[in-house]
Structure 1
Amino acid sequence: MQTKKGPYLLLTILMIIVALVAGVQLGRQVEQTNKAINYLLSVTPRPPTAAPTPKLPEKYLTYKQSQCGLQFLYPDTLTIVRETTTSAEFAINKQPALYLDCGKDAMLHVTSYMLQGKVATQEAQFQNQNIKITLTTLDKGNKQLFFSIINTQSGKTIWMTIREYLYPLLEKTVEFIP
Structure 2
Amino acid sequence: MGEFMAKAKTKKGAAPKKAKKATATVKKPKSSPKVKAAKDENLRGIVRLAGKDITGDVPLNKALLRIKGIGHTVVKGITKLLETKVGVRGTDKVGQFDDETIEKIDKVLFAIDGSSLPLFLLNRNKDRISGEDKHVIMNDLQFSLRQDIEAKKRSRSWQGYRHSKGQKVRGQKTRNTGRKGIAMGVTKKKK
Is TM more than 0.5 here? no
Larger radius of gyration: 1
If each structure's strand is expressed as a fraction of its own residues, which one has the higher value? 1
TM-score normalized by the length of structure 1? 0.19
If each structure's helix is expressed as a fraction of its own residues, which one has the higher value? 2
TM-score normalized by the length of structure 2? 0.18
- Which structure has the higher relative contact order (CA within 8 Å, separation 6+)? 1
